[in-house]
C-alpha cells in the first residue's frame, strides 16, 4: 500500500510542477488553487508512504517520478526538446527508481 501511495504522491508532484506554469506567477486564482492543493496532497501522501518505507528511498522515488513526469509533460504540452540525450537521461532516472524499488525491503 505504501508504494501505491508513493506513486500517487509522485503523480500529484507532476501535477503541481506543471500547474506552476499555468499559475503565471500565482496571478491566476484557479490554477493557483489547484496547484497548491496538488502540493498539499503530494506531500501528505509522501508522508503517509514514509511511515513504512525508508525515507531516502521514498524521497528519491517521489522526486524521480516528479522529474520524469514533468519532463515528459513538458515535451508533450510545451514543445520542449525531446533530444536523444534528454531521453537517455530520463531513462537513467527511471532505472534508478526501479533499482530503488527492487532493492527496498
What are the boundaries of each domain within the chain?
2-103
pLDDT given at position 104: 79
pLDDT of residue 100: 87
What would the pLDDT profile of 8-49 be if each residue is shown by its tens digit? 999 999 999 999 999 999 999 999 999 999 999 999 999 999
Single pTM value for the model: 0.90
- Do residues 94 and 68 make contact, with C-beta atoms less than 8 angstroms apart? yes
Where does the chain have alpha helices with state H? Answer: 2-23, 29-49, 55-78, 84-103
Amino acid at each position: 500500500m505504501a508504494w501505491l501511495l508513493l506513486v500517487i504522491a509522485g503523480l500529484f508532484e507532476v501535477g503541481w510542477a506543471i500547474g506552476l506554469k499555468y499559475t503565471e506567477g500565482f496571478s491566476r486564482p484557479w490554477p493557483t488553487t489547484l496547484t497548491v492543493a496538488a502540493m498539499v496532497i503530494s506531500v501528505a501522501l509522501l508522508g503517509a508512504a514514509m511511515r513504512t518505507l525508508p525515507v531516502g528511498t521514498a524521497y528519491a522515488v517521489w522526486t524521480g517520478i516528479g522529474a520524469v513526469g514533468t519532463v515528459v509533460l513538458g515535451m508533450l504540452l510545451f514543445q520542449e526538446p525531446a533530444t536523444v540525450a534528454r531521453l537517455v537521461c530520463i531513462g537513467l532516472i527511471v532505472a534508478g527508481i526501479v533499482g530503488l524499488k527492487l532493492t527496498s525491503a
